[in-house]
Amino acid sequence: MSTAELHTLTGAYALHALPEDERREFERHLSDCEACTQEVRELSATAARLGLAVAESPPRELRERVLREITTVRQEVPSHGRRGRTVSAGRTGRWSSYALAACIAAAAAFGGVAVWQNQEAQDARQEANQATQQSEQLAQVLSAPDAKTSSSDLGDGARATVVVSQGQNRAVILASGMERPPSGKVYQLWFNDEGTMRSAGLMDPSASDDAVLLDGPVDGATGMGITVEPAGGSAEPTSDPVALMEFPSA
């Protein structure tokens, strides 16, 4: 590859888009070309800043469109005698400004994907940690020395058992055989504080058998209820209870 051709590879090198053999040859060229070294440094820094600035997933078609447009842009042949020249905003000989902009856009898009994927991984880890904590708390209630249970038939073959630990100040409901709620609805759990219903979380609408740690402390609640609510739950019951259960006495 001629020196003139090597001068045109700064953008591709900055984006890690060169085949292995061309990368090695270009890196040998960098050791003797101060101008290319400076341009690679500038392009790499710009691509990194743009990538970090993007925090959402790019459209699926962006990568294909950018790569397609790059292939239609003609590279300008650089002039010779470039050693020691001043790097300036007006240089256009080594890299078509349109192609350079397209490559930087691609770098930003790929950086955005990386940021988005990293956020997705963090969210997944957070959800997994929360699920693990809830499972451990649920097990602590079920195995508590002072755990007491009360069971009730909910009709149509459904049955529920509530387990309360005053020491843990928590309660668990074990439900089986429950019909799925209507589309767009969910079963919501409530603490019964002497007639005032306090939200205690939601049940999995896709599970007929479920074990749920009620959300919040038992405190002075004397029982619990289950209602059918819009997806996401309600601040207070909006329907007649599917079930009302008294907590086992101490």
pLDDT number for residue 54:
42
pLDDT number for residue 169:
94
| Residuewise pLDDT in 10s, the chain (250 residues) | 777 777 788 877 877 778 888 888 888 888 888 888 887 787 776 555 555 444 455 566 666 676 666 666 665 655 554 444 444 444 444 445 555 556 555 555 555 555 555 555 566 566 556 666 767 777 888 888 888 888 888 888 888 889 999 999 999 998 888 889 999 999 999 999 988 999 999 998 887 788 889 999 999 899 999 999 999 999 999 999 988 999 987 6
Tokens of 45: 């820094």
pLDDT number for residue 184:
92
Q: How many CB atoms lie within 10 A of CB 97?
A: 11
Which of 218, 212, 211 minimizes the C-alpha distance to 250? 218
Any long-range contacts for 129-138 (C-beta under 8 Å, 24+ apart)? 134/213, 137/168, 137/170, 137/213, 138/172, 138/211, 138/212, 138/213
pLDDT number for residue 187:
94
Which of 92, 68, 69, 88 minimizes the C-alpha distance to 79? 92
pTM as predicted: 0.49
Tokens of 212: 């749920």
How is residue 7 annotated by DSSP? G
What are phi and psi for residue 24, nearest 5 degrees? -65, -40
pLDDT tens digits along 188-231: 999 999 889 999 999 988 877 888 899 999 998 999 999 999 99
How is residue 9 annotated by DSSP? G
pLDDT number for residue 170:
93
pLDDT number for residue 47:
59
Give me the amino acid identity at 25. E
Which of 158, 134, 149 minimizes the C-alpha distance to 214? 134
